[in-house]
């Protein structure tokens, strides 16, 4: 995998009164912020170590650029389909900003030598940027690498030992760069559409949470009717002390202010599916959402809303309080090995199957879309 340094822009924290507000608004207001002088540009190209401290763990990765050709050649593997209209909207945003303001989050199999270099660099060099965000209780730290010998070593390691990467977040941003490169490659342009801004976190530096579902059901079915219908497919148990699912083929649901545990029946699992690639989210889609509730398109049906997996059971309860006609579901998360295995086999995951940590922020490091003069 070819990776390259880039000439980064970064926010001038001394001019920002509220960092939480700034990084919340930068997605919509980047152009205004840039024109207002809130971003500085580094004189040299570099790679950047990013360490993110969150209540859910600490994660360390590397930010740089990867040629779009790695994507078109199939070395950057996806697990979701992209929508043409959303690609076009993302393209117009990029052209309007004239900048990439958020990296595509990529994972790869851990390479000890790369980890050693990153850790050693962190220990021996001062932090380039450090941002405290109170609303998400996290700290974002960055170290700038612009020494030629270290850049060369990292580039060589990635080229020789990382043959493929996996998109964890940013499918449309990656696809948009391919779209723009194809659209403009025969035209004279000052824009650089040849490289994707990426954040590379190895598989040991990622956590996968489920996307919790909150589904409007009780406007059509009584609680008793829902439980009866579900009992055809799963064994149900009322939980005195609710906990998140601890193993595959088990899920929790919140109904009428009570938590239940459900486990799919062995007869269903053994006769209808190949267990090796069977996902809990697919079972929920097939048997709860489609057969019981009547939802045939989980992408567009307005009866479904999604809660970030890190919000846990409390997040589901809070959402249910706002709409008592809903039932909340928490699934067992897809494991990183299954995610990689299915991506290798070019199998697509159902929509909203994974919620990856860390979450990459807009505007922390920016790559201008125009070539440097």
CATH of the domain at 332: 3.30.1760.10
CA-closest candidate to residue 91, choices 198, 31, 178, 7: 178
Each residue's pLDDT tens digit, 135-173 = 989 999 999 999 999 999 999 999 999 999 999 999 999
Q: Is the pLDDT of residue 302 over 70?
A: yes
Each residue's pLDDT tens digit, 83-134 = 888 889 999 998 899 999 999 999 999 999 999 999 999 999 999 999 999 9
What are the residues whose beta carbons fall under 8 Å from the beta carbon of 258, sequence distance 6 or more?
Answer: 238, 239
Where in the sequence is the domain holding 171, given as residue range(s)? 8-206+358-368
Tell me the two tokens of residue 188.
């004279």
Instruction: Based on the fold, state whether residues 29 and 132 are members of the same structural domain.
Output: yes
Instruction: Based on the fold, state whether residues 83 and 166 are members of the same structural domain.
Output: yes
| Per-residue pLDDT band at 313 (split at 50, 70, 90) | very high
pTM of the model: 0.90
Residue 86 forms part of a structural domain: yes
Q: What is the 3-state secondary structure (H, E, C) of 88-116?
A: HHHHHHHHHHCEECCCEEEEECCCHHHHH
What are the residues whose beta carbons fall under 8 Å from the beta carbon of 154, sequence distance 6 or more?
Answer: 3, 47, 62, 114, 117, 145
Q: Is the pLDDT of residue 235 over 70?
A: yes
Domain total in the chain: 2
Residue 153 forms part of a structural domain: yes
Instruction: Based on the fold, state whether residues 166 and 240 are members of the same structural domain.
Output: no
Residue 54, strand partner residues: 57
- Measured CA to CA, the distance from residue 191 to residue 177 in angstroms comes to 11
Percent of the chain with pLDDT over 90: 77
| pLDDT on residue 186 | 62
Percent of the chain with pLDDT over 70: 95
CA-closest candidate to residue 4, choices 109, 163, 154, 202: 154
Residue 249 forms part of a structural domain: yes
More reliable by pLDDT, 272 or 315: 315
| Per-residue pLDDT band at 287 (split at 50, 70, 90) | very high
Instruction: Based on the fold, state whether residues 317 and 305 are members of the same structural domain.
Output: yes
Q: Is the pLDDT of residue 189 over 70?
A: no
| Per-residue pLDDT band at 273 (split at 50, 70, 90) | low
Residue 1 forms part of a structural domain: no
Residue 68 forms part of a structural domain: yes
Residue 2 forms part of a structural domain: no
| pLDDT on residue 372 | 46
What are the residues whose beta carbons fall under 8 Å from the beta carbon of 166, sequence distance 6 or more?
Answer: 76, 77, 79, 106, 107, 108, 339, 340, 343
Q: Is the pLDDT of residue 185 over 80?
A: no
Each residue's pLDDT tens digit, 246-268 = 999 999 999 999 999 999 998 88
Residue 261, strand partner residues: 237, 252
């Amino acid at each position: 995998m070819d990776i390259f340094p880039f000439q980064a822009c970064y926010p001038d924290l001394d001019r920002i009164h509220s960092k939480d507000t700034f990084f919340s608004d930068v997605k919509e207001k980047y152009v205004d912020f840039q024109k207002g002088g809130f971003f500085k540009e580094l004189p040299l190209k570099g790679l950047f170590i990013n360490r993110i401290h969150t209540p859910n763990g600490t994660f360390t990765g590397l930010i740089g650029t990867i040629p779009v050709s790695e994507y078109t050649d199939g070395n950057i593997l996806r697990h979701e389909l992209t929508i043409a209209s959303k690609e076009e909207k993302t393209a117009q945003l990029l052209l309007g900003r004239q900048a990439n303001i958020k990296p595509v989050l990529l994972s790869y199999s851990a390479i000890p030598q790369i980890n050693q270099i990153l850790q050693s660099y962190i220990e021996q060099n001062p932090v380039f940027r450090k941002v405290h965000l109170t609303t998400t209780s996290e700290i974002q730290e960055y170290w700038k690498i612009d020494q030629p010998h270290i850049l060369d070593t990292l580039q060589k390691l990635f080229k020789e030992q990382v043959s493929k990467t996996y998109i964890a977040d940013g499918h449309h941003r990656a696809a948009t760069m391919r779209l723009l490169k194809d659209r403009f490659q025969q035209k004279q342009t000052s824009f650089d559409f040849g490289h994707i801004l990426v954040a590379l976190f190895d598989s040991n530096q990622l956590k996968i949470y489920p996307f919790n579902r909150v589904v409007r059901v009780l406007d059509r079915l009584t609680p008793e009717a829902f439980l009866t219908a579900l009992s055809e497919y799963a064994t149900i148990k009322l939980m005195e002390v609710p906990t998140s699912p601890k193993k595959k083929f088990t899920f929790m649901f919140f109904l009428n202010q009570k938590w239940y545990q459900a486990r799919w029946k062995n007869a269903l699992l053994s006769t209808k599916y190949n267990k090796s690639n069977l996902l809990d989210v697919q079972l929920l889609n097939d048997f709860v959402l489609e057969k019981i509730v009547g939802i045939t398109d989980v992408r567009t049906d307005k009866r479904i809303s999604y809660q970030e997996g890190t919000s846990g059971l409390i997040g589901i309860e809070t959402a249910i309080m706002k709409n008592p006609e809903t039932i909340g579901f928490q699934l067992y998360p897809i494991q990183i090995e299954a995610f990689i295995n299915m991506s290798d086999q070019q199998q697509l995951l159902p929509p909203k199957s994974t919620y990856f940590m860390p979450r990459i922020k807009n505007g922390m490091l920016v790559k201008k879309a125009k070539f440097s003069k």
